[in-house]
Chain A
Amino acid sequence: MLQGALAGLAAGGLYAVLAVCLTLMSRLVRVVNFAQAATGMFGGFVAVWFVSEIGLPIWLGALIGVLVGGALSALIGWIVATWLAEADTTTRSAMTVGPLLLLISLSFILFGNKPQPFDPIIAGPAFTIGGVVISQVTVATVTMAIVVAVLCKLVLSRTSVGTKLRALSERPTTAELIGIPSKPLAIAVWAVTGVISALVIIIVAPSQSNDATSLSMLIVPAAAAALLGGFRRLDLAVIGGLVLGVLSGLVAQIGEVSLIRNFLPFLFIVILLLWTQRKEVWDAAR
């Protein structure tokens, strides 16, 4: 049981990292970025291409892949900041479905629809506690989730850039009027989350199914995890991701309920929504 729960932690860490990115985007640039995992996937595939076709060493390929992921994300950010600057969150988020589908199709066209031969940057078991194996990937993703969340928290609360970003997200028009450069800052946020997504996907992709669709669809459990923090709180996003991973690990161990494992993120979302809306009266909630 315990081994099963801990086995889910690697996936949990991955969900948590992506959930932190989603939460950042939602807070700072008013977008639920559906293409969050897809840009990472594409960056990862570019990395694989450089390693397997050009023969670059894995670290260099990974670096290029991470930069491509960041650049793609920045490009989407530039489009949003240029043409949808005044649009509401729903419209801006809906627009990101386009790049999601485009990137999946584009990767099929460029790299084929077979899984990619990712060379692992890190692989194998890290250590064993009482017969329970903790893999290196688990250590990496969980650490990354916590570090990214803490760093973002510090940047937002302790630096002038953070203050400007908060001002922009709270009162975009006012912030612009007092001279805060909204567009470069917004695009920077897109680029940073793009880099983080690409990095975490390049770390986990060798140890799991790594075709374009499964990697891009990581956005579903990540969104479920971000929902725990209401797309506002980074700490809850991390906890949401880890809990979701551990739950799916647990559920797979128990024969009677293992079928619901496929719907777990969905159930998670439904239960959270029911809980958060529990005090709403119907008319007000509509």
Chain B
Amino acid sequence: MKRHLVGTVAIAAATLLVLSGCAGGDSAGGEGAPIKIGSVNTISGPATFPEASKAAAAVFDAVNADGGVNGHKIEYKALDDKGDPATATASARELVGSDEVVALVGGASLLECEINQGYYTQESILSIPGIGVDTGCFNTPNIAPANVGPFNDMTLTLLYGSETLKLDNICVLLEIAGSTRPTYQAAIDRWTEITGKKPLYIDDTLPYGAPDYTPYIVKAKDAGCKALAVNPIEPDAIGQVKAANAQGWDDVTWLYLTSVYSDNFAKAISDAGAGIYVPAEFYPFTEANDITADWQSLMAENDIPLTAFSQGGYLAATYFIDVLKGIEGDITRESVTKALHEMAPIENPMSGTPWVFGTAETHADQVAGWPIKLTSGTNKWELSGDDWLRIPSN
């Protein structure tokens, strides 16, 4: 009995020692200690974004291969939140609380921003998602995504449709997840403010992953829509275009978002009506070019698919490395946060807007997309302009 007690006490003491060691908060403070970085991602579940964190990891591996940042190697940990709020909460606490990461970089999650933004503020840690998906990525001081985001993208696609393609009678169809409805409304209102035009109607009842979108397409056709601005995930977009094909609606123009910009989508669509137009959030990668060459070769080396998501992850990691290299002294959460707050904007030709974290109350400053199009019978995305399309500042 006594021996048991002694054993238990010894184990408890050892555990305490280990825990206190962990809580030293000495990440990268000392000589040669690693710099810990994390990200919360939706890698499994209903809609997945695996490429962003893979691309960020590839950037960090390349930096480590060159000897790290000021002699410190980077330890990158990307966790899967499974699209589940409870797991997203736990993942953030694991990274920020137990692993003591200095910042969150290169993630892409369906819901993580909205759920964890309060926690990040409370812990004074900054997050740079590769791809900001939900509303929460764009309305808080501690999160600044590398991408344009679906809301600014919606404004851009509407602008392109009404101003460049000169289309009237644009209808907006929305798939709403969580609390994104008001943010999409704000994006549409912004377009109305700039152009004085209004959508013919807004239908916000489109289900995610519906087997058949025909009824919604029929409704739009009957209402006299010339163009449809929609925010679907890729499989749903394919369903919508095919539903219009089946109805023989061949003069409709599709104004989609970057989520459909992939080879897979282009292969699946043979009949694109009057054309599918997308403001790509980063410089398009459909044709070989110098602007995306670095990213393309890194992705090819690591066998990561070429998508807008992997562009976002790559850019977030690249920006972050730039900021890290400018830090003098110890790299800790405090010094990283200070450096991000005081940084000068970084220009990258893959993005139409210079990226800066800074101390703004919200971060939705990425406002440029590169117009691309997919026309019937080509099965291939093409450039549809020779410059970035920007949301004019009011």
Contact = CB atoms under 8 A, between A and B. Distances in A.
A218 B210 CA distance: 10
**Which of A115, A248, A250 gathers most chain B CB within 10 Å?**
A115
Given A209-B209, A214-B235, A3 B222 contact: yes
Interface in B27-75: 46, 48
A10 B235 contact: no
B20 interface: no
B210 A214 contact: yes
B210 A209 contact: yes
Interface stretch (B181-189, B240-248, B343-351, B365-373): B240-248
A69 interface: no
Interface residues of A, number: 43
Nearest to B218: A7
A210 B248 contact: no
Contacts of A11: 211-212, 214
The 3 A-B pairs of least Cβ separation, nearest first, read A252-B215, A209-B239, A125-B248
B222 A211 contact: no
Given A10-B246, A250-B215, 15 more contacts: A3-B221, A4-B215, A4-B222, A11-B212, A117-B267, A125-B248, A128-B248, A133-B248, A136-B246, A209-B211, A209-B212, A218-B211, A252-B215, A252-B216, A253-B218
A7 B268 CA distance: 22
Contacts of A217: 211
5 contacts: A113-B48, A123-B246, A207-B243, A209-B236, A253-B219
B338 to A, nearest CB: 40
Nearest to B268: A117
A259 B205 contact: yes
Given A115-B235, A117-B268, A210-B239, A261 B205 contact: yes
B267 A10 contact: no
Nearest to B241: A207
A237 to B, nearest CB: 18
Contacts of B203: 255, 258
B153 interface: no
A267 to B, nearest CB: 15
B174 to A, nearest CB: 12
Interface of A: 3-4, 7-8, 10-11, 113-118, 123-125, 128, 133, 135-138, 206-211, 213-215, 217-218, 248-253, 255, 258-259, 261-262
Contacts of B246: 10, 123-125, 135-138, 207
B264 A207 contact: no
A249 B48 contact: no
B213 interface: yes
A3 B218 contact: yes
Main secondary structure of the interface of A (DSSP, over half): helix
B385 interface: no
A248 B215 contact: yes
A133 B248 CA distance: 8
B41 to A, nearest CB: 14
A133 B268 CA distance: 23
B234 interface: yes
B215 A253 contact: yes
B219 A8 contact: no
B235 A210 contact: yes
Main secondary structure of the interface of B (DSSP, over half): helix
Interface residues of B, number: 32
Interface string B192-213: 0000000000010101011111
Given A11-B214, A208-B213, A253-B219, A114 B243 contact: no
Contacts of A252: 205, 215-216, 218-219
B238 interface: yes
Contact of B211 (A114, A124, A215, A255): A215
Contacts of B221: 3
A253 B247 CA distance: 15
Contacts of B205: 252, 255, 258-259, 261
Contacts of B214: 7-8, 10-11, 135, 208, 249
B179 to A, nearest CB: 16
A209 B235 contact: yes
Contact of B207 (A136, A206, A261): A261
A39 to B, nearest CB: 17
Contacts of A210: 235, 238-239
A124 B245 contact: yes
Contacts of A7: 214-215, 217-218, 247
Contacts of A117: 264, 267-268
Given A7-B214, A7-B218, A211-B235, A115 B247 contact: no
Contacts of B235: 114-115, 209-211, 214
Interface string B321-363: 0000000000000000000000000000000000000000000
Contacts of A136: 246
A251 B219 CA distance: 11
Contact of B234 (A115, A214, A253): A115
**Which of B219, B221, B248 gathers most chain A CB within 10 Å?**
B219
A249 B215 contact: yes
Contact of A208 (B48, B222, B239, B264): B239
A209 B215 contact: no
Contacts of B207: 261-262
A250 B44 CA distance: 34
Contact of B209 (A114, A135, A211, A253): A211
Nearest to A253: B219
B20 to A, nearest CB: 42
Contacts of B234: 114-115
Interface string B141-152: 000000000000
**Which of B209, B211, B242, B245 gathers most chain A CB within 10 Å?**
B211
